């Protein structure tokens, strides 16, 4: 039985990791300055997006999930003929219509899948599940990495779904946005009032850079610093402490909305790499894809790890 893992393009993972494990990317689209980008994590497309400085205009971008019909066609062409079981993990359903559309597409696919397989001379039935990851970006990436480990155990679909959903509740995320004005403008265009104009003004006027921390996609300001570097240092220190205290899975996911030379120069990254090496933890270090970089903004970072309940400053 061949099992395939599908994630949407809001999921941040290293390209080599995606390629190595055969993870299928369900694309989203982004429109900026009358140009449309299909974000399927293609490295060349992502590099072009960064090189042209389009991320600086990301607050003006319109991001859109593929329709149920588009997803259906994609699944029938790429997934049904190649896998017996497919697991599709989507970004938190409150942030995108991708879960809703993928679920609708799944129902349409299930009505046609066996016919498609029979016409292709493939024996056996096809089945799939769509799971709301309740995560964003690096958190989605960490959940996907965990799911790959479960797939190797040959669990039933129901057992797999239960373990994925249970584990998702143990994921913690840190986000450091470089520009609160960017996030405020993005939120305004999306009708999200969670970032106030006052907070954005203070962040700009006083050079306050917050660390947003919490479980899954629900976060709160855990620290306020006077510079991006100071905020990044706090996140790196937090991750090192949690690694030394013991993680629930030996993986940390870190995605960054910047070029690789800037990523490698991040303060505290060397300490994080050393802590991972000393404790047998895999660091999934990636550059943010188009979707997540538009959402959080240029120069931002997102880190995720799995741990028991704790406080940011433990």
CATH code of residue 149: 3.40.50.10170
148 plus 21 within the same structural domain: yes
Give the pLDDT mean for 233-249: 98
* Structural domain boundaries, residue 225: 171-306
**Whole-number CA gyration radius for the chain:** 19
pLDDT in tens, 73-97: 999 999 999 999 999 999 999 889 9
The total number of structural domains in the chain stands at 2
In this structure, what are the phi and psi dihedrals at residue 248, rounded to the nearest 5 degrees? Answer: -80, -20
Q: How far apart are CA 122 and CA 116, in angstroms?
A: 9
Question: What's the pLDDT at 192?
Answer: 63
Q: How far apart are CA 113 and CA 127, in angstroms?
A: 8
End of a domain among 168, 189, 222? 168
17 plus 113 within the same structural domain: yes
The better pLDDT of the pair 205, 299 is held by 299
Looking at the domain assignment, is residue 12 inside a domain?
yes
- Between 23-32, 38-47, 184-193, 207-216, the lowest mean confidence (pLDDT) is in 184-193
132 plus 212 within the same structural domain: no
Q: What pTM did the predictor assign?
A: 0.94
- Name the band, by pLDDT with cuts 50, 70 and 90, for residue 22: very high
- Between 124-128, 165-169, 180-184, 263-267, the lowest mean confidence (pLDDT) is in 180-184
69 plus 188 within the same structural domain: no
pLDDT over threshold 80, residue 211:
yes
Closest CA to 307 of 233, 253, 262: 253
83 plus 47 within the same structural domain: yes
End of a domain among 103, 138, 168? 168
Torsion sign across C-alpha atoms 251, 301, 143, 241: positive
Give the pLDDT mean for 176-203: 70
pLDDT over threshold 90, residue 130:
yes
pLDDT in tens, 269-288: 999 999 999 999 999 999 99
pLDDT in tens, 52-75: 887 776 657 778 999 999 999 999
């Amino acid at each position: 039985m061949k099992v395939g893992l599908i994630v949407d393009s809001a999921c941040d993972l290293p390209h080599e990791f995606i390629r190595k494990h055969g993870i299928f990317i369900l694309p989203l689209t982004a429109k900026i300055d009358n140009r449309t980008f299909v974000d399927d994590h293609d490295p060349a497309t992502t590099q072009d997006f960064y090189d042209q400085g389009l991320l600086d205009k990301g607050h003006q971008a319109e991001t859109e999930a593929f329709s149920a019909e588009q997803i259906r066609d994609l699944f029938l062409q790429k997934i049904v003929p190649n896998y017996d079981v497919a697991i599709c993990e989507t970004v938190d359903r409150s942030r995108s219509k991708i879960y809703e559309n993928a679920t609708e597409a799944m129902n349409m696919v299930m009505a046609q899948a066996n016919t498609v397989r029979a016409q292709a001379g493939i024996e056996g039935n096809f089945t799939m599940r769509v799971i709301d990851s309740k995560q964003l970006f690096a958190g989605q990436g960490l959940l996907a990495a965990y799911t790959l480990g479960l797939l190797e155990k040959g669990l039933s679909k129901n057992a797999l779904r239960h373990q994925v959903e249970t584990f998702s509740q143990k994921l913690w995320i840190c986000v450091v946005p470089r520009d609160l004005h960017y996030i405020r403008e993005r939120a305004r265009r999306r009708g999200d009032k969670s970032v106030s104009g006052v907070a954005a003004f203070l962040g700009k006027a006083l050079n306050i850079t917050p660390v947003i921390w919490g479980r899954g996609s629900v976060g709160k300001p855990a620290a306020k610093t006077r510079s991006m570097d100071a905020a990044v240092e706090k996140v790196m220190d937090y991750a090192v402490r949690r690694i030394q205290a013991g993680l629930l899975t030996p993986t940390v996911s870190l995605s960054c909305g910047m070029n690789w030379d800037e990523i490698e120069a991040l303060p505290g990254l060397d300490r994080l790499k050393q802590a991972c090496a000393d404790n047998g933890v895999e660091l999934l270090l990636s550059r943010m894809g188009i979707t997540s970089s538009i959402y959080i903004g240029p120069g931002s970072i997102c880190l995720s790890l799995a741990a028991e309940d704790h406080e940011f400053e433990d």
